[in-house]
């Protein structure tokens, strides 16, 4: 049995749901889910794997996730680590990863993935977030075909397969030396 930390932050619930789904894939291991909006770990050295998850907002990682990465930067480069993001414009996921994660951390990571994302105006907490979200939804819908069904099909969603692959990479890494 290995010890896994899933450190994440989530503004409107997508990353939280993905983190919980990832934890379910790791049944049989000791998994600690840490919501970084509630608490910041003081040490990560006790974990065999650290998964770090963030939503993308205004092209950036959630502030608490960025602080976590800053705080543990040297330790993360040496540990078994995987990074995942959720975003509305999934075609830009690669670019978000490159811009927001230091190259050394990306190169040393076991895996980096986008789990998809959601665009949901009702799930947003403040007026500003609702406003931005409505603008994003219109952009996505306007870019799509102007047929009723096709328009909603154009909205992003969470990709369960990518979570399952991420969990597979975590389990596979336990057999290798880091």
Ligand X SMILES: Cc1cc2nc3c(=O)[nH]c(=O)nc-3n(C[C@H](O)[C@H](O)[C@H](O)COP(=O)(O)O)c2cc1C
Q: Which residues of 130-146 are buried (b: 16+ CB within 10 A; e: fewer)?
A: bebbeebbeebbeeeee
Given 4, 12, 114, 173, the residue binding ligand X (CB under 6 A): 12
Q: Among 51, 119, 163, 167, which residue interacts with ligand X (rule: CB under 6 A)? A: 119
Binding map of ligand X across residues 84-113, x = CB under 6 A, - = no contact: --xxxx--x---------------------
Which residues are CB-contacts of 46 (< 8 A; sequence separation ≥ 6)? 3
How many angstroms separate the CA atoms of 129 and 143, rounded?
21
Distance of alpha carbon 19 from alpha carbon 7, whole angstroms:
8
Query: Smaller CB distance to ligand X: residue 14 or 173?
Result: 14
Is residue 14 involved in binding ligand X (CB under 6 A)?
Answer: yes
The verdict on 140 binding ligand X (CB under 6 A) reads no
Residues forming the site for ligand X (CB under 6 A) = 10-15, 55-59, 86-89, 92, 117-119, 124, 129, 132-133
């Amino acid at each position: 049995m290995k010890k896994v930390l899933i450190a994440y932050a989530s503004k409107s619930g997508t990353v939280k749901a993905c983190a919980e789904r990832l934890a379910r894939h790791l049944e049989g291991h000791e998994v600690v889910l840490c919501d970084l909006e509630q608490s910041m770990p003081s040490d990560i050295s006790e974990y065999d794997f650290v998964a770090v998850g963030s939503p993308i907002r205004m092209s950036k990682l959630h502030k608490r996730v960025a602080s976590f990465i800053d705080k543990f930067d040297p330790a993360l480069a040496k540990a078994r680590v995987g990074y995942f993001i959720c975003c509305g414009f999934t075609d830009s996921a690669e670019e978000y990863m490159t811009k927001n994660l230091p190259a050394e951390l990306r190169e040393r990571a076991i895996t980096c993935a986008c789990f998809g994302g959601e665009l949901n105006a009702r799930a947003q907490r403040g007026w500003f977030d609702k406003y931005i979200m409505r603008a994003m939804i219109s952009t996505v819908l306007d870019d799509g075909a102007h047929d009723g069904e096709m328009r909603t099909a154009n909205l992003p969603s969470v990709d369960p397969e990518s979570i399952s692959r991420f969990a597979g990479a975590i389990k596979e890494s336990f057999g290798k030396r880091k």
